[in-house]
A and B are shown apart, each in its own frame.
Chain A
Amino acid sequence: MALEHADVLRAAHLARLGLDDDEAAHYLDDLGRILAMVDQLQTLDTEGVAPLAHPLETTQRLRADEVTETDQRDRFQRCAPAVEQGLYLVPRVVE
């Protein structure tokens, strides 16, 4: 499956990675080779094989509905780039 420049730009936008055209061209080249390697998968017949999401096929354990966490806002916000009145600040979000 051939990769195009636009695919790289699209992925970069979806992943919110700023890339200039040169960088995009560089990644297009790399990703093209990685995908060529990955495309070996297509040579294998996997008809009827169930996908495996976890190496151990165990099931989800459930947690009791209890409040166990206390307010640690100050501690958590110490590593935040911009906070005011307990809120995380971001450039204005336009709805």
Chain B
Amino acid sequence: MQWETVIGLEVHVQLATRSKIFSGASTAFGAEPNSQACAVDLGLPGVLPVLNEAAVAMAVQFGLGIHAEIPEVSVFDRKNYFYPDLPKGYQTSQMYHPIVGPGEVEITLEDGATKRIRVHHAHLEEDAGKSLHEDFHGMTGIDLNRAGTPLLEIVSEPDMRSAKEAAAYLKAIHSIVTYLGISDGNMAEGSMRCDVNVSVRPRGQANFGTRAEIKNVNSFRFVERAIAFEVERQIELLEDGGEVVQETRLFDPERDETRSMRTKEQANDYRYFPCPDLLPVVLDRAYVDHLRDTLPELPADKRARFQDELGLSAYDAGVLSASREMAEYFEAVKEACCDAKLAANWVQGELSGALNREGLPIQDSPVSATQLGGLIARVMDDTINGKAAKQVFQALWNGEGGGDANSADEVIEAKGLKQVTDTGAIEAMIDQVIADSPAQVAQYRDAEPEKRGKMIGYFVGQVMKASRGTANPQQVNALLKEKLDALC
């Protein structure tokens, strides 16, 4: 039987506010345990929540970024359950009237095709604390620093049909929230986490199969692996005549498998009801319009502009707009050198290669965008040739040259890499090489004319070496051919 996979994602994004969603405690990561858990976060008797404006603004910005409806009124509800990392015994969330209504996210697949994934809604809620299972005499330690950190939970429709689509969706969400600057998107620190709903059905069947929810999948790679495992498990189960049980499963990246969380709390009843300590949030149109007007350009728009206005290929436009940092870097290089295609080639070629080798993100690149732009400008005006340009790049990478746009010029000057275009000087070097290479000249002369083209490479190399790489390669080629052919 042919099976079709159906996937929906619930992505939790920690919003980059300074203070918590309902209190004035800091949200900074990595503080001493419980040093950033204030009276409100601890749920001390008598405390009350007050909503953070920035959390609201960020949620609305996200909504606008996915062209979602922004309802005028949203309401906070309490989700009641007991867990030690949940101080009040309820999580303040939005069950019935979320702040962001239906929207959609465009994803780009590997073959360059795009697909729209519908977002059911996105709502604001508070994060829980953390349980630390190191051994405290057989006890668990609770750190509530994270409790009350604002989360935006983005709930998709079950529109994805493969693990790759799910990963692409997660990347698209990541890129939107980082473009907007509403989250650092740091998955390693838990700033973005996701629950995956997976089911399979015979191809052509209209109804969805029974789904399993895989909790807390915390990297792009794990999303693909967890889905791949889960799909295989479900298909195997069904083909063996079994049934998929609706349940919550946990992905174990070490064993590369999902397993059932058979806790006693399978059948929970969260008893949602409107939080009486908070009032309905009413967003007036002027506020939403202001946020809309100040929204930065988002990845999909940027990608389109890179193609339409800068003439980049779909692939290049996709890569260069994938993250805000990448796009900002590329646009700064383009600005400095005035050639989009060369800028695109350098950013994706030499620069990305070097960054990958060192494992550095683009924002930590030792070569700044203005430096790289300055370098490319020198290639464009023939001051240096391509080979020298790579040397200059390496020098800039190693911190040579000043910090500004003239860095490349300084390196070129210091290393004497300026391209030699004086015909007389090049001819002199060619004559010397020919004189020093009688055997090769003889071979060249004896060769079939159609094989000579290949053999000229040796002489070019020697001349370039003699010029320490500074001779203009096109000129060297042309003059060499002229002089060697004259000898035949």
Chains A, B in direct contact (C-beta < 8 Å): yes
Contact B52 A91 (CB under 8 A): no
Contact B142 A88 (CB under 8 A): yes
Q: Which 10 A-B pairs have the closest CB atoms?
A: A87-B141, A68-B24, A65-B54, A62-B53, A69-B38, A86-B33, A60-B279, A88-B142, A71-B35, A59-B282
Tell me the A residues contacting B by CB distance below 8 Å.
Answer: 14, 16, 53-54, 58-69, 71-73, 76-77, 82, 84-95
Interface bits B270-284 vs A (CB < 8 Å: 1, else 0): 010010101111100
Closest CB of chain A to B143's CB: distance in Å? Answer: 6
Contact A63 B279 (CB under 8 A): no
Contact A73 B34 (CB under 8 A): yes
- Across chains A and B, the number of contacting residue pairs, with CB separation under 8 Å, is 123
Residue numbers in B under 8 Å from A72 (CB-CB): 38-39
Contact B34 A86 (CB under 8 A): yes
Contact B84 A88 (CB under 8 A): yes
Contact A14 B33 (CB under 8 A): no
Contact B141 A88 (CB under 8 A): yes
Cα distance A54–B82 when bound, in Å?
A: 26
Known: A62-B51, A68-B24. A89 touches B142 (CB 8 A): yes
How many chain B residues sit at the interface, stated as a range, is 35 or more
Residue numbers in B under 8 Å from A16 (CB-CB): 82
Per the 8 Å Cβ criterion, residues 125-158 of B in contact with A are 131-133, 136, 138-144
Cα distance A93–B86 when bound, in Å?
A: 13
Is the C-beta of B70 less than 8 angstroms from some C-beta in chain A? Answer: no
Question: 16 A-B residue contacts at CB 8 Å?
Answer: A14-B271, A16-B82, A61-B51, A62-B281, A63-B50, A69-B19, A69-B23, A73-B35, A76-B34, A76-B44, A85-B33, A86-B33, A87-B33, A87-B143, A89-B139, A90-B139
Interface bits B101-142 vs A (CB < 8 Å: 1, else 0): 000000000000000000000000000000111001011111
Contact A67 B26 (CB under 8 A): yes
Per the 8 Å Cβ criterion, residues 220-263 of B in contact with A are 250, 261, 263
